[in-house]
């Protein structure tokens, strides 16, 4: 118990030290040359002019939320790879019985040495094959759902940074196209 407390205290002291040491060094090393521009508050690229109750462009929030949603998906791939990667190692027919027992213990989350050669808990090659395919199908379904969401967001136009300009340009292009009337074999000139 005291060993655990000692490790905790050491970790805490080192963590606080790593935080304070750069701040203290910076206090003595950095130049002290304050100006009005350097002391002004910086607000995410927006100029600090006028009232603080200005309507803030919601596209910043939409893009940030979309980034978080589609970036966090990568965090879900790591546990999938860690769990199902072990099962693909069990597919190797050249594995020795000891290696198969070790990998089976890791995959089944059992203590080392708890499985024996006669034990029924050793993962066979056929079972590992089924687990690997199940893992691949799970990943493809998960990724497919994310791609459908991404396609929806893209089609809706939430990824266009300046949506109003692109919509206005599309309407101008549509209005500028000449309108022709097709009758039988010949085309008439645009009607004014």
pLDDT at 18: 96
DSSP letters of 28-59? HHS-----HHHHS--BTTB---S-S-PPPPTH
pTM, two decimal places: 0.48
pLDDT on residue 165: 61
Query: What string of pLDDT tens digits covers the 192 residues of the chain?
Result: 678 888 999 999 999 999 999 999 999 998 888 888 888 777 666 666 667 676 766 777 877 888 887 788 778 888 888 778 777 888 888 888 788 788 777 777 766 555 555 555 677 778 888 888 888 898 899 889 888 988 888 888 777 766 556 666 677 777 777 665 555 555 555 555
Contact 138, 79 (CB under 8 A): no
Domain boundaries, the chain: 61-175
CA angle 130, 132, 135 (to 5 degrees): 110
75 — alpha (psi -120 to 50), left (phi > 0) or beta? alpha
The pLDDT value given to residue 17: 96
């Amino acid at each position: 118990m005291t060993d655990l407390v000692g490790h905790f205290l050491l970790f805490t002291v080192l963590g606080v030290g790593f935080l304070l040491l750069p701040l203290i060094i910076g206090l003595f090393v950095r130049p002290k040359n304050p100006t009005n521009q350097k002391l002004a508050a910086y607000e995410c690229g927006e100029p600090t002019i006028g009232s603080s109750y200005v309507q803030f462009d919601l596209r910043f929030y939409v893009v940030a939320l979309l980034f978080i949603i589609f970036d966090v998906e990568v965090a879900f791939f790591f546990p999938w790879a860690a769990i199902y990667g072990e099962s693909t190692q069990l597919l190797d027919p050249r594995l020795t019985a000891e290696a198969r027992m070790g990998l089976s213990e890791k995959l089944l989350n059992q203590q080392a040495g708890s499985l024996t050669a006669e034990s029924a808990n050793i993962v066979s090659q056929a079972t590992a094959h089924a687990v690997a395919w199940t893992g691949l199908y799970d990943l493809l379904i998960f990724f497919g759902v994310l791609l459908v969401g991404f396609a929806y967001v893209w089609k809706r136009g939430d990824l266009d940074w300046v949506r109003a300009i692109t919509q206005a340009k599309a309407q101008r292009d549509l209005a500028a196209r000449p309108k022709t009337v097709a009758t039988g074999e010949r085309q008439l000139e645009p009607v004014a």
